[in-house]
Structure 1
């Protein structure tokens, strides 16, 4: 069985206790063929509340935020299951089989693993498996893309960049916690997809293939993730007579352990939903789910002009043009390759829409420019939203001290005084704070959301453009020598130690 863990193993636990929160399947209210289950979702770390708001807005139920950051849980009836796939803030979805708030592990590793083996046959699997089957039928009906990881279909010219991008995006693998040391087996999580349609029509003709993925966080466990996945998976195999397969599996059983919180689930997504808009990846491509969270933070209104001056692959404006399509988006970058990737990603979405028979047009335009001298009229932009260079894969910390003040000053010029907003993502917190303080009151910080971007602790900063008139405030801005390179050379700059 595959596994993934965040912390090392240490002290054993104590005796086992029953679930303190009853399973969704045990509490199912059955009305005909409609049952109520609990759906779990992994979300970008830091945007759990944003995801909960979206669930309430689109599905009409209250979501519970997990103790383990990056997850939410919410109830849903099977007749509304299709609505979970309309959520834009979630990376992966799973149906909860059982959850324990305070699972008391045995003192020894042997006893704990034996208990996990015994647990497999005691769980209420029925409703979760029904939801898994229904989910497969929904995917077939709606024409969901079947098979394979997104990296399989990337052209060779993009392969190197995609490999780098994947490491930054894959903060949470399928229904995982913010674990950052995936085992070798976990790397195949999204390689193959379900053959459940065949299984539904001829359940006895082909044995179900499955795997167990254990995601563990905490330092007081006497066992490793591999050991838990192996023993629990063996018991699942014996109970259902399924066939274990690490890559070509039909069902992925999830064993999520965070300190004393244990959740067993069945995955409903085959690959993370954060890849949904991007076909041409770059070195620092943002997850679409993180882009959605940033967009919700600035609350786009109809007819707003929204600018991304450092668009990279266009992940932010693309997500905005699809989900908040009453606004108009301008995407630009100073790098030819980045602009080409953005154009290719836009074309990819337009072709996909045309195939489905829907309107293929997107309210988005792409420009190559010098971001410190934008060809945009003063005070004409309502919202600026962008991913600033961290100074790691793109640019350098030293260049940021020139770049950030110059960017913020130019952003202040094009942004509408008094009502304009900016949402900026960066890990270089010190540099951004200093740059804001040197703007002479042009920008005021309203809110900060702390996020995990590929293992890096970064901040999403919501800034408000004050009513101060640009050019009439004593901006103490250090004008850099020559044109500032926003994203650095495509090959990247070496970070100063």
Structure 2
């Protein structure tokens, strides 16, 4: 792997975006489409790309976690013998020439000015939305309800220097607004007495067996103090220097925004990770005049992500929990998309929705960890799918987020339409012997009979990480009536 030379010219720059495991393909598609990125390179947990330093476009990346300006990207390091020699090599490799830092920091400062302006505009919009939320008590009713159900129930709407180079979490980033605002433009990095920084270091793979992240962060931090005269500040630095060394690459970069891309200012009550929700909606083939249903919407994260991208589409959210629906309504109003989204209280097991009236069903199937159910979710899954199958029109899409356990259960015990043979077939071939053994040893927890969904065809499945939990985004399409 050749060393990446970072182009920090005003016309284009090299960036990278961190991504949750399994979401790299979604970030790759977004940066290409939204930022006209080139030289896109996806690796585990990161996507590197070259694009114009246009924050109005870069900020639209919805599937990424954090956005960085790339300073250096090196191939895997070959560490010499001897701890002293190894640390010296790491310091020289990761810090390098001063002019590279100065050029990158100048561009970083320009980006900060744009981000600050965008934040000011966004804060004004949020304040206006809050005032509207307090004054607006409008209710929503659904036009898609079954006649026999009526309109449905509606939801209302200074220590020693070396001690300061401790490794910080990758999800933390602090910029001292008071310090930066008091420094005249273009003099930020020449004002050494006022410029503060910290090193956030991650160390995995073979290198982690030799050094801790704290050791590496301390070495790089001391080198920057000697080279530039900057002052370390662990709590509220002006600049965070992000370093990640592993078996694939060694990276140095600067976070561009205080808050991660994944943090949505318009979400008041949090639920499903917004990046995962975005990945789901991008698979749903939403277009103009589409009617989208989330029958277990919770606080409405999936609908919010979709409505912000497709404001002229009709979205309907349902949930049996009135408290969750109230939070969903507040979220939608705060996001300013209340004209596109309506809510209805109801059960996914008996949807008060006309048959074949929905174009897309998209939902996070509960894992059973946060909200308990009187029934095992494996027992409820066939009933849930049957209702979804009923309300979706022919040609419609169903996108579900399933736990790995539920997805395994789906593959093992349910049969879907085989497009090639025109008959019903399992999503995989015959059950593996391991599956049979599991069925025999867990008869109480597993539905033994096979359920058929002859109108549904599996399209794709994507493993994604939800932090401590692994999940699957599963997509299928309705090709005929049951």
TM-score (norm 1): 0.74
Answer with 191-200 or 101-110: which moved more.
191-200
Aligned to 2:87: 113
Distance 1:227 1:118 in 2: 15
Structure 2 residue matching 1:416: 3-state secondary structure? strand
- 2:306 equivalent in structure 1: 320
> What does residue range 386-405 of structure 1 map to in structure 2 within 5 Å?
386-395=363-372, 399-405=376-382
| Gap change, CA 1:341 and 1:249, over 3 Å in 2 | same
Alignment match, 2:361 = 384
Matched, 1:87 2:87: no
Structure 2 counterparts to residues 75-474 of structure 1, below 5 A: 75-78=50-53, 80-119=54-93, 120-122=95-97, 124-144=100-120, 185-186=168-169, 189-190=172-173, 193-194=176-177, 195-201=179-185, 203=188, 204=191, 207-221=194-208, 222-277=210-265, 279-282=267-270, 285-350=271-336, 361-395=338-372, 399-417=376-394, 419-427=395-403, 428-434=406-412, 436-437=414-415, 438-469=451-482
Question: Does the CA contact (< 8 Å) of 2:176 and 2:236 recur in 1?
Answer: yes
Report if the CA contact (8 A) 1:308-1:384 is conserved: yes
Q: CA RMSD in A?
A: 2.8
Question: Cα deviation per residue 1:371-409 (whole Å; 9 max; x = unaligned)?
Answer: 111111011010011111123333379611222111111
Question: Retained in 2: the 8 A contact 1:277–1:319?
Answer: no
**Compared with structure 1, are the counterparts of its residues 75 and 191 closer, same or farther at alpha carbon in structure 2 (3 Å cutoff)?**
closer
Distance 2:32 2:45 in 1: 17
Corresponding pairs, count:
398
Contact 1:303 1:328 in 2 (8 A): yes
Match of 1:475 in 2: none
Residue 439 of structure 1 and its aligned partner are, at CA, apart by 3.1
Distance 1:44 1:396 in 2: 28
Answer whether contact 1:379 1:415 (CA < 8 A) is retained: yes
The answer to whether 1:21 aligns with 2:21 is no
In structure 1, distance between residues paired with 2:246 and 2:167: 21
For residues 362 and 257 of structure 1, do their structure 2 counterparts lie closer, same or farther at Cα, with a shift above 3 Å needed?
Answer: farther
User: 1:295 Cα shift?
Assistant: 0.9
C-alpha contact 2:402 2:471 (8 A) present in aligned 1: yes
Q: Are the structure 2 counterparts of residues 71 and 260 from structure 1 closer, same or farther at C-alpha, using a change threshold of 3 Å? A: closer
State the 1:81 CA deviation: 4.4
State the 4+ residue runs in structure 1 displaced beyond 6 angstroms.
none
Q: Structure 2 vs 1, CA of residues 436 and 344 (structure 1 numbering), >3 Å: closer, same or farther?
A: farther
How far apart, in 2, do the equivalents of 1:114 and 1:47 lie? 36
- 1:30-45 pair list within 5 angstroms: 30=9, 34-45=10-21
Cα distance in structure 2, aligned partners of 1:108 and 1:315:
51
| 1:462 match: secondary structure | strand
1:66 alignment partner, one of 16, 31, 42: 42
Quote the offset at 1:206 in angstroms. 5.9
Relative to structure 1, is the Cα distance of residues 60 and 185 closer, same or farther in structure 2, using a 3 angstrom cutoff?
closer
Once the two structures are TM-superposed, the CA of residue 89 in structure 1 deviates from its matched residue by 2.1
Superposition deviation, residue 256 in structure 1? 1.2
Change (3 A) 1:465 1:433: same
Q: How far did residue 192 of structure 1 move?
A: 5.5
TM-score (normalised: structure 2): 0.76
CA distance in 2, matches of 1:255, 1:187: 10
* Rounded Cα–Cα distance in structure 2 between residues aligned with 1:72 and 1:308: 30
After superposition, the Cα gap between the structure-2 partners of 1:466 and 1:341, relative to the gap in structure 1 and judged at 3 Å, is same
Distance 1:84 1:245, change over 3 A: same
SS in 2 for 1:186: coil
